Amino acid sequence: MKRLYSFLCRIEAVVAGTFLVLMVGLIFVGGIARLLHHPLNWTTDLATCLFAWACFLCADVAWRKNVLMSIDIVTARLSPAAQRLLAYCNYLIITVFLVYVIIAGLWLSYVSRARSFQGIPEISYSWITMSLPVGAALLLITTLLKLRDLARSDARTAQLPG
């Protein structure tokens, strides 16, 4: 299971990076085409779709690697026990929020299934809105793993003599 998750994490990082590079490339090509008086409106539309997916995928990569911005000016002054309690509370709040986002995102994807993306009849808007529940599910997995690791470190600390 650990190898599968590690593989999923690598694939997620590659896809997120690819989407970011493609998004920038599409915007650049669209700008050059507009400069040459041959606008390619679809480049902006596709870049918007890639942006939605890249946001959530990159958020999960950053969350997993603990590189999200945080302000710890108050929490750093708390006792270690209070810091752990606050970490548990934060993870639980994040978990509840992500479960809500998954449910709301699935509902939004379902109700937008007949809507076409930017007027393109072949592409359903659900392809874009699915970034919400998929991204939230990936973030939820990461959050639950962080919660598990915190609980395991607390269990190890409690078993130490002293």
Is residue 107 located within the same domain as residue 48? no
Residue 162 has pLDDT above 60, yes or no: no
Beta strands, E only, the chain: 116-117, 120-124
Predicted confidence at residue 121, as pLDDT, reads: 67
Residue 36 has pLDDT above 60, yes or no: yes
Name the burial class of residue 147, with classes exposed (0-12), middle (13-18) and buried (19+) by CB atoms within 10 angstroms of its CB. Answer: middle
Is residue 19 located within the same domain as residue 53? yes
Predicted confidence at residue 126, as pLDDT, reads: 84
Predicted confidence at residue 89, as pLDDT, reads: 96
Is residue 93 located within the same domain as residue 56? no
Give the mean model confidence (pLDDT) for residues 129-145. 96
Q: Which of 2-6, 131-135, 142-146, 154-158 has the lowest mean pLDDT?
A: 154-158
Is residue 60 located within the same domain as residue 33? yes
Q: What is the pTM of this model?
A: 0.88
Give the mean model confidence (pLDDT) for residues 24-42. 93
Is residue 90 located within the same domain as residue 128? yes
Of 48, 44, 15, residue with least CA distance to 28: 44
Is residue 28 located within the same domain as residue 74? no
Domain termination residue (choose one: 10, 39, 69): 69
SS3 content of the chain, % helix, strand, coil (to 5): 80, 5, 20
Domain termination residue (choose one: 38, 69, 100): 69
Is residue 99 located within the same domain as residue 65? no
Q: How far apart are the first and last CA of the chain?
A: 35
Q: How far is CA 34 from CA 27, 39, 47, 118, in A?
A: 10, 4, 15, 19
Is residue 36 located within the same domain as residue 61? yes
Residue 159 has pLDDT above 90, yes or no: no
Give the mean model confidence (pLDDT) for residues 98-127. 84
Residue ranges making up the domain that contains 152: 70-162
Quote the tokens at residue 128: 């874009």
Other Cβ atoms within 10 Å of 80 Cβ, number: 8
Q: Which residues are paired to 116 by β-bridges?
A: 124
Is residue 38 located within the same domain as residue 58? yes
Is residue 26 located within the same domain as residue 76? no
Is residue 158 located within the same domain as residue 84? yes
Residue 27 has pLDDT above 80, yes or no: yes
Residue 117 has pLDDT above 80, yes or no: no
Number of domains in the chain: 2
Assign 116 to helix, strand or coil: strand
